[in-house]
Amino acid sequence: MSKFVLSAFGDEIDMSLDVQMEELNSYNIKHIELRGVDGKNVSELSLDEARNIKRRLDDKGFKISALGSPIGKINITDAFEDHLNMFDNLLEIALILDTKYIRIFSFFIPKNEDPDKYFSEVLARLKKFTIRAEKKGIILLHENEKDIYGDIPERCLKILTSINSPNFKAIFDPANFIQCNVETYPYAFNMLKDYIQYMHIKDAFLESGHVVPVGSGDGKIFEILTQLKNSKFEGFLTLEPHLGAFEGLEKLEKNIDIKNIKKGGKYSFSVAFEALNKVLNNLILIGD
């Protein structure tokens, strides 16, 4: 694997897998982080549907970088058994789609309560996921997300060190840290750099939290990628534009008014890609 391999959330282009592959192919992106596909979230797929998707991917020369699952994106006070069953199904889907990564979260915490009050339950649930993933040879990637337990780097680190498994690593999402009023670099990055195995490429303004093209916000993505380029990191950069509304967005984000967001799609994705490409070209210019 070269230092960075580009992937993308194709559902921000279109929910149709065929359209996703056609558009991404025009950018020479041959990996997809599978989240929304043909009208369904990846967690809703049957195993037969997953096998059909694998055949279609193979026909077009595409691979899945990770399953962009919603695992752990429920309240920590919600019942767990059905969610665990969903996770077991996703493990099988990951094997069918020949990806070793599943993106997960660490549960929404009740508002105005101390997150550490719930740490033991968060850890117990994440350990159940991890034990199952270890048996299947799957690596879980914890994404920092606003309002979950692991939304700030200190609590992300607490999770990672407590689980202490080669099958539990970190996704680093700069925009999500920005939306938690956290400095991405050097602060969050240096705290988590030993655990980062995957990047979500999304930028935002610190003052408003508004998502913007890469390099336009306060995510310091150039600085982060420079450090990764000079480290032992070899992995995926998944482009997650979030520059416009797309089918399924209201199910992914809490408290969002989708009516007041402009429509995303191919144009928004092209803006996001060109911004990332500019950053990557500047990385090349600085040399090793």
Q: Please name each of the domains of the chain with its CATH number.
A: 4-286 (3.20.20.150)
Alpha carbon distance 253, 73 (integer Å) = 10
pLDDT of residue 264: 56
Cis peptide before 186 (omega within 30 of 0): yes
- What are 255's two structure tokens? 């408290």
Res 262 pLDDT > 60: no
- Would you place residue 257 in the very low, low, confident or very high pLDDT band (cuts 50, 70, 90)? very low
Instruction: Give me the pLDDT at residue 250, please.
Output: 45
pLDDT attached to residue 189: 98
Residue 255 has pLDDT above 90, yes or no: no
> Residue 256: its pLDDT value, please?
33
What is residue 241's predicted lDDT score, i.e. its pLDDT? Answer: 86
How far apart CA 219 and CA 200 sit, in angstroms, is 11
Residue 261 predicted with pLDDT over 90 = no
Residue 188 has pLDDT above 60, yes or no: yes
Those residues whose C-beta lies under 8 Å from the C-beta of residue 245, and which sit 6 or more positions away, are 258, 261, 262, 263, 264
Whether residue 275 contacts residue 214, with contact meaning beta carbons closer than 8 Å, is answered with yes
For residue 22, count other CB atoms closer than 10 A to its CB: 15
Alpha carbon of 113 to those of 97, 122, 261: distances in Å?
A: 39, 14, 30
Residue 25 is which amino acid? N
Average pLDDT, the chain: 92
List of residues 6+ apart from 220 with CB closer than 8 A:
174, 184, 185
DSSP structural state of residue 248: T
Q: What is the pLDDT of residues 192-218, one digit of tens each?
A: 999 999 999 999 999 999 999 999 999
Q: 222-247: b or e for each residue (b if 16 or more CB lie within 10 Å)?
A: bebbbbbbeeebebbbbbbbbbbbbb
- Rounded Cα distance between 282 and 224, Å, is 13
Confidence at residue 242, expressed as pLDDT on a 0 to 100 scale: 75
Read off the pLDDT of each residue in 156-164 and give the average, rounded to a whole number. 98
Q: Is the pLDDT of residue 14 over 70?
A: yes
Residue 236 pLDDT: 98
